[in-house]
Amino acid sequence: MPTPDEMARLLACGAPEGKRGWGLCPQAPGIYRDRKCGLPIKGRLSHPKALCYGAGMLRISDITYSVEGRPLFEGASATIPTGHKVGLVGANGTGKTTLFRLIRGELALEGGEIAMPSRARIGGVAQEVPSSSTSLLETVLQADTERASLLEEADHATDPHRIADIQARLSDIDAWSAEGRASAILKGLGFDTDAQLRPCSDFSGGWRMRVALAGVLFAQPDLLLLDEPTNYLDLEGALWLESYLAKYPHTVIIISHDRGLLNRAVGAILHLENRKLTYWSGPYDQFARQRAELRAVQTAEAKKQDARRAHLQSFVDRFKAKASKAVQAQSRVKMLEKMTPILAPEEAKKVVFSFPEPEQLSPPIITMDGVAVGYDGPPVLRKLDLRIDQDDRIALLGKNGEGKSTLSKLLAGKLLPATGKLVRSSKLRIGYFAQHQVDELHLDETPLQHIMRLRPAEAQPRLRARLAGFGLGADQADTLVGRLSGGQKARLSLLLATIDAPHLLILDEPTNHLDIESREALVTALTEYSGAVILVSHDMHLLGLVADRLWLVKGGAVQPYQGDLDAYRRELLAGDEPAKPAEKPKEKAPRPSREALLALKADVRKCEDRLAKLNEMRNKLAVKLADPALYERPEEAVVWQKKYAEVMEGLDKAEELWMKAAEKLEAADA
């Protein structure tokens, strides 16, 4: 129950009768707040008209916005329910980052409205944490501005009532456990206890970006906007972030091209295409499947209409001059005029990477015997006994700082062994791509000038063909690198790394700044590539499709990892949890009775009937969504799209239930 003082403050908040009350806050169980003044009340109070502080949703209503005369949004609308985790996807340059700036109020809309609850806090990662003498831990703690302000005021307050208010509020926001929470976030993002006490100035820009991410996660805004948050993380940090976001207590919108993140950390996709926003329920793979099905239906309907139009036009052309058929011809002309065109969806631009093929070398191409390597101090890696063949596809696993980049540099010849023997094939060519190489491009030169320096004797048409093979067309070839997008710079760096047709390609985080289509193209290129690949990446999807061997870099050693990527992911997320004792083997269950078998068979039939009905509903809805007239009524179109998404979600669950029922029947009948 509230104290008399708290009750008096609530009654004095000015809320009209019937509007004042308390409600359970879903983001902080056990804390209740008045619906107008926002005062926290502990206890178990309820009110039929109570409203949680921060309740509501993000509403984007009919917005319009252009950049230099080019429209990015035209009548775009979407609603993000409170507490939902949403992935914002769309082709490069469509306006995803601009939408974030519009939501934050940094840009003024030309039309429409973006609305949120008045008390809601919006948070995002700053461009960079300044290089200061403040420790990492203190930098993150300062990100919670309310806590920092209250603590500072507490040092100078003299009024007993105000002191009591401050202490009550500090208790409500759990200020006394703040250091532990901030430290846990920093640890998850790769900073050990010692690193957390070092000043920001000790770390590079990429590491300070992690500190900025830690700060906004610690502050826990009501709406968290993250733009490519995994670009500065390794695999371990990316997996930790996935797990953290899945449990984040407020609304999250993430711009990302990481399929793993979009499948495991979000429950909906907000798609930006053709200057419109469409909200799809479900993770990315479900969205991609539903969208492909819808596009297929639209394409089929467009073909049908084209055939019908051609048939009518043929009749008109044949009989328009014939008196006996004039009326019929005129009738068909009217039918043609009334026919609303169904446009087939534009074909997605095919993204490709063209890696030149190296000649085959006799195995092995690299061997190591008792190699140790490091920098000026003690060796980072010791007793390396490794072999690499030209058909190897190896992913390097290991926590940050264990030596993955050191091993990559050793293999690339950028570091020499301190001890031991390393032998390379005499004709071996090595291509090396690292994140920092994108930053080392000459910003005042064009991509064409970059490769002319490497191939001065080649004719320009050949050089331009090389650029086109990496998705850099005629316009990009003659554009200064400083004006290219991050993805285009990454493509250029990949081209420079592979231009000599290397037998061994070492890729350290190659997917940063690449969109989903480009990542899929990279997977295809690496799969077809006949050279060896050493891969360091936070993209589990890429690792799973390309790598067939896993090396774990840990404790100064490099050893084959016996499990698969899923096992490694579970191991990382388990952290330091104690191992569970092995379960005793279960006794074999007795064979079920005839009645039990019949019941299991009935369950399978019910699941099959349910699947058939849902498939029928899906087909009907697909036809409805293929009708262009529907999209003249955007609100109605959104309703039908939601129905379609619900049916597809139901299909997934029904298939899962059918599989379980079938497995039970199979096990019982064995």
* Angstrom distance (rounded) from CA 140 to CA 215: 4
Per-residue confidence band for 3, with pLDDT thresholds at 50, 70 and 90: very low
Write down the pLDDT at residue 518. Answer: 86
Indicate the range of 183-187, 338-342, 413-417, 524-528 predicted with least confidence.
338-342
Backbone angles phi, psi at 266, to 5 degrees: -120, 160
pLDDT at 52 over 70: no
Check pLDDT > 90 for residue 627: no
H-helix or E-strand spanning residue 633? none
With vertex at residue 199, the alpha carbon angle to CA 198 and CA 201, rounded to the nearest 5 degrees, is 130
Whole-number pLDDT of residue 234: 86
44-53, 167-176, 449-458: the lowest-pLDDT one: 44-53
Class of domain 366-573: alpha beta
The pLDDT value recorded for residue 389 is 95
DSSP 324: G
Which range has the worst mean pLDDT, 115-119, 364-368, 528-532? 115-119
Domain ranges of the chain: 4-42, 96-283, 287-338, 366-573, 594-668
Query: Which amino acid type is present at position 98?
Result: T
Average pLDDT rounded to a whole number, residues 474-498: 89
pLDDT tens figures, 403-425: 998 999 999 999 999 999 999 99
Residues 346 and 91 sit within 8 Å (Cβ to Cβ): no
Question: What is the structure's pLDDT at 595?
Answer: 67
pTM summary value: 0.68
**pLDDT of the residue at 24:** 37
Share of the chain above pLDDT 90, in %: 36
Question: What is the predicted pLDDT for the residue at 371?
Answer: 95
Q: Is the pLDDT of residue 68 over 70?
A: yes
Q: Which residue has the higher pLDDT, 50 or 499?
A: 499
- Provide the pLDDT confidence category of residue 201 given band limits of 50, 70 and 90: confident
DSSP bridge pairs for 66: 71
Contact (CB, 8 A) for 451 and 467: yes
Mean pLDDT of 63-67: 93
pLDDT at residue 225, as a whole number: 95
- pLDDT for 203 beyond 90: no
Closest to 217 measured CA to CA, from 255, 194, 243, 235: 243
Q: Which of 12-16, 122-126, 244-248, 266-270 has the lowest mean pLDDT?
A: 12-16
Q: Over the stretch 220-247, which tens digit does the pLDDT of each residue have?
A: 899 999 999 988 888 888 999 999 998 8
Mean pLDDT, all residues of the chain: 81
Helix 205-219 to helix 178-188 angle, to the nearest 10 degrees? Answer: 140
Average pLDDT over residues 101-120: 90
Residue 204 DSSP label: -
Where is average pLDDT lowest: 81-90, 170-179, 270-279? 170-179
The model's pLDDT over 585-617, given as tens digits with 9 standing for 90+, comes to 445 556 666 667 677 777 777 777 777 777 787
Residue 663 has pLDDT above 90, yes or no: no
Q: Which residue has the tokens 């199979």?
A: 666
With beta carbons less than 8 A apart as the criterion, state whether 421 and 457 touch: no
What integer pLDDT is reported at residue 40 of this predicted model? Answer: 43
What mean pLDDT is predicted for residues 76-85?
91
Which H helix or E strand runs over 384? Answer: strand 379-384
> Which band of pLDDT confidence, cut at 50, 70 and 90, is reported for residue 8?
very low
> Angle of helix 447-454 relative to helix 486-498, nearest 10 degrees?
10
- The domains spanning 96-283 and 366-573 adopt the same CATH topology: yes
Q: How far apart are CA 196 and CA 216, in angstroms?
A: 16
Angle between helices 486-498 and 460-468 (to 10 degrees): 120
| pLDDT above 90: residue 483 | no
Say what percent of the chain tops pLDDT 70. Answer: 82
Rg (C-alpha) for the chain, rounded Å, is: 30
What does the block give as tokens for 546?
């390309």
What mean pLDDT is predicted for residues 442-459?
92
Helix 634-668 crosses helix 594-625 at what angle (to 10 degrees)? 160
The mean pLDDT of 352-368, rounded to a whole number, is 91
Q: How many residues does the chain have?
A: 670
Q: Give the pLDDT of residue 295.
A: 76
Average pLDDT of 416-441? 89
What is the SS3 assignment for 220?
coil
Can you give the pLDDT at residue 480?
92
β-strands 419-424, 366-374 pairing: antiparallel
The pLDDT of residue 327 is: 66
Higher per-residue confidence, 441 vs 204:
441
Query: In a 10 Å sphere around its CB, with 0-12 CB exposed, 13-18 middle and 19+ buried, how is residue 209 labelled?
Result: buried
- Quickly list H helices, 157-279: 160-172, 178-188, 193-196, 205-219, 235-246, 259-264
pLDDT of residue 213: 92
CB-based burial label for 463 (10 Å; 0-12, 13-18, 19+): buried
- Site of tokens 């959104």: 638
Question: Which of 71-75, 347-351, 436-440 is least confident?
Answer: 347-351
In angstroms, rounded to a whole number, what is the distance separating the alpha carbons of residues 562 and 150?
51
Match domain 96-283 to its CATH number in 3.40.50.300, 3.40.50.261, 3.40.630.10, 3.40.50.620: 3.40.50.300
Specify the range with the lowest mean pLDDT, choosing from 86-90, 490-494, 592-596.
592-596
Per DSSP, the residues of 496-538 read HHHTT--SEEEEESTTTT--HHHHHHHHHHHHH--SEEEEE-S
CB 186 within 8 A of CB 196: yes
Please check the confidence at residue 53 and state whether its pLDDT lies above 60.
no
Q: For residue 555, what are its two tokens?
A: 């404790």
Label residues 52-81 b or e (16+ Cβ within 10 Å = b): bbbbbbbebeebebeeeeeebbbebbbebe
Cα–Cα–Cα angle for 522, 207, 410, rounded to 5 degrees: 60
Out of 101-110, 398-407, 408-417, least confident range: 398-407
Q: Can you tell me the distance from the alpha carbon of 554 to that of 543, in angstroms, rounded to the nearest whole number?
A: 19
